[in-house]
Amino acid sequence: MSKQTGIEKQLTDFLEYLELEKGRSQRTLQNYDFYLRRFLSWARFPSPKDITLPLVRSFRQHINRSIEGRNADGPKVTTQNYHLIALRSFLKFLTKRDFKTLAPEKIELAKQPDRHVEFLEEEELLRLLDAPKGQDVVALRDRAILELLFSTGLRVSEAAKLDIDQINLKRDEFTVTGKGSKRRIVFLSDRAREALSTYLKKRKDTAPFLFVSHDRAKDARDSTSLTPRSIQRIVDKYARRAGITKKVSPHTMRHTFATDLLRGGAGIRSVQAMLGHSSITTTQVYTHVTDKHLRQVHKRHHDRRRK
């Protein structure tokens, strides 16, 4: 058995492990397969024991200098880290199966600049939520989508997969399955519940999906679920209609949801749970966007005796 056949067999086993035991999505499997095959191909398909820290450093340099690892501003750190995260996970898998290889914790990720979070200010948000006009089923659907995204902070992929049966309008809450098949509870505001109820009462089709295309050329029974891309286009359309110049996506609504909670006094751990983040570090990016709120708190409460 050649080295190439051996390491590729371990890669196949690793991807099956991610799918069957870790419940990772097909998109994640495709990404890991791509990043790891790029590394293995560049390294000429080494055996596990030949994966060393100098080899990984050379690969990082290769990615850093390659066209794929650059943007207009220089090396793209995020791209480098995607490869390293996949490689660390693969090495951890090999170690668990008693292969002698590089310890995964020896691979350090490249330091990234603070992530910029785009969110809507209150006035922009109100204009966006008010943008769908009329009482036809498409306008009601689009209003329900916008209200749902802001009320729950759902990822666009999560919203697109929802079925009507999942939504409990009496309890104003429901369970959603997010990344890594993790389940969490999300909550409906009064406005989101009302928008969803109005939309569902207007529907004439029998499709089980929460949001459908409402294609008049199709039979009501054949209504198809909206795709994540369709929902993205809907959000973008109403953002432009509302006169918002910044780029607005469903993820902008998710950022706005988190920012609104933090500015309203919610604890970071509560926001983490509602967003479905595995790590608090991911949620802490939102603390950077609440600086204005902190300024107001400081102005209101600091040095009150001399005011």
Q: What CATH number should be reported for the domain holding residue 199?
A: 1.10.443.10
Residue 10 lies in a domain: yes
**Segment among 68-72, 112-116, 141-145, 281-285 with least mean pLDDT:** 68-72
Write out the catalytic residue numbers. 155, 179, 251, 254, 277, 286
Residue 114 lies in a domain: no
**Segment among 12-21, 234-243, 280-289 with least mean pLDDT:** 280-289
Higher pLDDT, 147 or 63: 147
User: If pLDDT is split at 50, 70 and 90, which confidence band does 2 have?
Assistant: very low
134 shares its domain with 272: yes
Helix (H, G, I), strand (E, B) or coil at 19: helix
User: If pLDDT is split at 50, 70 and 90, which confidence band does 306 have?
Assistant: low
Residue 255 lies in a domain: yes
DSSP string covering 196-241: HHHHHHH-----SBSSB---TTS-GGGPPBPPHHHHHHHHHHHHHH
For residues 255 and 117, the answer to whether their CB atoms sit within 8 Å is yes
The reported pTM is 0.71
165 shares its domain with 274: yes
90 shares its domain with 133: no
Residue 115 lies in a domain: no
CATH number at residue 59: 1.10.150.130
With a pLDDT cut of 90, the percent of the chain lying above it is 64
Give the mean pLDDT of 169-183.
Answer: 87
pLDDT of 35 above 50: yes
56 shares its domain with 199: no
For residues 157 and 149, the answer to whether their CB atoms sit within 8 Å is no
Domain count, the chain: 2
Residue 305 lies in a domain: no
**Segment among 69-78, 105-114, 214-223, 224-233 with least mean pLDDT:** 69-78
Average pLDDT for the chain:
88
Using the 3D structure, point to which of 80, 106, 132 is the last residue of a domain.
106
Which strand (E) or helix (H) includes residue 71?
strand 70-71
pLDDT of 74? 43
59 shares its domain with 127: no
**Distance in angstroms (rounded) separating the CA atoms of residues 39 and 51:** 10
pLDDT of 129 above 90: yes
**Distance in angstroms (rounded) separating the CA atoms of residues 200 and 210:** 8
Angle, vertex CA 30, rays to CA 27 and CA 33, nearest 5: 150
Distance between first and last Cα of the chain: 80
Tens of pLDDT, residue by residue over 83-113, are 999 999 999 999 999 999 999 999 998 876 6
For residues 63 and 79, the answer to whether their CB atoms sit within 8 Å is yes
Higher pLDDT, 293 or 19: 19
Which range of residues forms the domain containing residue 26?
Answer: 3-106
38 shares its domain with 129: no
Give the mean pLDDT of 132-140.
Answer: 95
pLDDT of 178? 85
pLDDT of 221? 59
pLDDT of 75? 46
**Segment among 10-19, 29-38, 63-72, 253-262 with least mean pLDDT:** 63-72
DSSP string covering 238-286: HHHHTT--S---HHHHHHHHHHHHHHTT--HHHHHHHHT-SSHHHHGGG
Residue 55 lies in a domain: yes
Higher pLDDT, 300 or 205: 205
37 shares its domain with 185: no
